[in-house]
Structure 1
Amino acid sequence: MSTARDTSARDDILATIRRSLGVTGREAPRRAVVAERLAGAPAGVVPARGQVEGRARLELFIAQAEAALATVAEVEAPGEVPAAIAAYLRSHNLPATLRMGSDPRLSALPWDDTPLEIAIGPSDGRDLNAVSHAMGGVAESGTLALVSGPENPTTLNFLPDNHIVVLDAAEVAGDYETLWARLRERLGKGAMPRTVNWVTGPSRSADIEQTMFLGAHGPRRLHIVLVGGGASGG
């Protein structure tokens, strides 16, 4: 962890380098060159697998997520999400309790139409079930992008045994690069979240004999509710 003393030492070293070069670091031409290089950085190699459109992209996302041991349910409208979550918990004989953050997309849903008991705020490790709203999904790997903040506390990603994630179908991108660009465009410098978590399937680990253990470092179940994907073909 960086300390004030570390920062001072770093600043001293950089100041020495600048003096040796005869620059301050504030020269307009030098700053322009750096800004241009950052803005015009070439994209890396993007796998072809995720470069599909429409329903094909969603089918790829679902297949990859399920291959990583997540489960996926599809609903057509946001209002159907609470009932889908209640059905999922019931099907796994789990209590009708659910913790969430202050995300307005979740707060606006008709939770009162279900028997679910809702708690708001970060988890202290005693919650069995939690729900988050993803910023987006990556089709090429079935990965969820979750940004930290009071709307979707990071503790909900890791502490409860069962993590349910709501994902808008329109937010599923083909590749990671597209989601990173979307995040920068929407939030930008000075407003970026403290943490971006890329989650692929439930937490799992294997010993030297390759025996799989679920829930090794986080949730043992990851369930995705995909909203508005047109599974019925409409």
Structure 2
Amino acid sequence: MSTRDALFEKIAKASAANPERRDRDAVEARMREHRINLMPARADKPEPERLQLFLDKCAELAITIDRLGSADDAPAAIAGYLKRHNLPGEIRISPSAEIAGLPWDKAPLLSVTPGRAEISDQVAVTPAAAGIAETGTLVMTSGADTPATLNFVPDNHIVVLKRSQVVRAMEDAFAMVRERFGEGSMPRTVNMISGPSRTGDVEQKIVMGAHGPRRLHILLIDDLD
């Protein structure tokens, strides 16, 4: 018997009489329930109030937002954002259908390249899996069509988010991820992003873009009536 196996056997014997112990079937049944934890009152609101909470939290986190009536308006909105910030028109985009399928011909001056971010890229455009109203957090899942490098390497991160994707709290966001990927099949990573990268390590002065993008901008698509 290996040292590892011996250690686990010792732990199992020591906990066998514990009244709180649960067998494997009980644990798996509990995991399948996906029981919702306590829901914060500030997030457990009707959709319009939940959306306003998300907008308020994003403002607190220095996340800027353009609200659009249709995803077809996204390329022109991106071009306008780049112009306002004097940024180049070369952008790296997610190969996902949500982003690669946008009508990029509506912004002909943009140079659009799908794929993983390179260190030379200044602007990335990605989808999000969800937005959390409670904290103003964006939920990003990794995959072949959503490389995680796009979230962290370029200085400017533009996220396309649908209004219907704004949920109350983290539990709702993970429910959306499970629905998208299927029960028992999660992405390799789920990243929670709450605002641009920042640090206050040096003299407790906030510096933006310390370990990731210095700007985070959301294109919020109003897909609800």
TM-score (norm 1): 0.84
Aligned pair 1:86/2:79, yes or no? yes
- Bigger mean CA offset, 72-81 vs 203-212: 203-212
Equivalent AA in structure 2 for residue 164 of structure 1? I
**Closer, same or farther in 2 for the Cα pair 1:224/1:13, shift >3 Å?**
farther
Equivalent AA in structure 1 for residue 200 of structure 2? A
CA apart distance, 1:36 = 1.9
From 174, 192, 214, the equivalent of 1:220 is 214
From 51, 59, 63, the equivalent of 1:70 is 63
Q: Considering only aligned residues, what root-mean-square deviation do their CA atoms show, in Å?
A: 2.5
CA apart distance, 1:41 = 6.1
Equivalent AA in structure 1 for residue 116 of structure 2? P
Structure 1: segments with no counterpart, 5+ residues? 1-7, 22-28
Provide the C-alpha distance between the structure 2 equivalents of 1:51 and 1:37, rounded to a whole number of angstroms: 24
Show the counterpart of 2:91.
98
**Closer, same or farther in 2 for the Cα pair 1:10/1:128, shift >3 Å?**
farther
Provide the C-alpha distance between the structure 2 equivalents of 1:10 and 1:113, rounded to a whole number of angstroms: 63
Equivalent AA in structure 2 for residue 84 of structure 1? A
Kept in 2, the 8 Å contact 1:75–1:225? The answer is yes
Show the counterpart of 2:43.
50
Please give the secondary structure, in 1, of the residue aligned with 2:135.
coil
Provide the C-alpha distance between the structure 2 equivalents of 1:60 and 1:136, rounded to a whole number of angstroms: 15
TM-score (norm 2): 0.87
Aligned pair 1:179/2:200, yes or no? no
Kept in 1, the 8 Å contact 2:142–2:188? The answer is yes
**Closer, same or farther in 2 for the Cα pair 1:41/1:172, shift >3 Å?**
closer
From 183, 197, 200, the equivalent of 2:191 is 197
Provide the C-alpha distance between the structure 2 equivalents of 1:47 and 1:54, rounded to a whole number of angstroms: 15
Aligned pair 1:36/2:32, yes or no? no
Please give the secondary structure, in 2, of the residue aligned with 1:87.
helix
Kept in 1, the 8 Å contact 2:132–2:169? The answer is yes
Kept in 1, the 8 Å contact 2:129–2:176? The answer is no
| Number of aligned residues | 218
Please give the secondary structure, in 1, of the residue aligned with 2:210.
coil
Please give the secondary structure, in 2, of the residue aligned with 1:50.
coil
Q: Equivalent pairs: percent with the same residue?
A: 41
Kept in 1, the 8 Å contact 2:58–2:136? The answer is yes
Provide the C-alpha distance between the structure 2 equivalents of 1:220 and 1:107, rounded to a whole number of angstroms: 24
From 109, 113, 124, the equivalent of 1:119 is 113
Provide the C-alpha distance between the structure 2 equivalents of 1:14 and 1:172, rounded to a whole number of angstroms: 45
Kept in 2, the 8 Å contact 1:89–1:95? The answer is yes
Provide the C-alpha distance between the structure 2 equivalents of 1:200 and 1:112, rounded to a whole number of angstroms: 31
Provide the C-alpha distance between the structure 2 equivalents of 1:10 and 1:60, rounded to a whole number of angstroms: 52
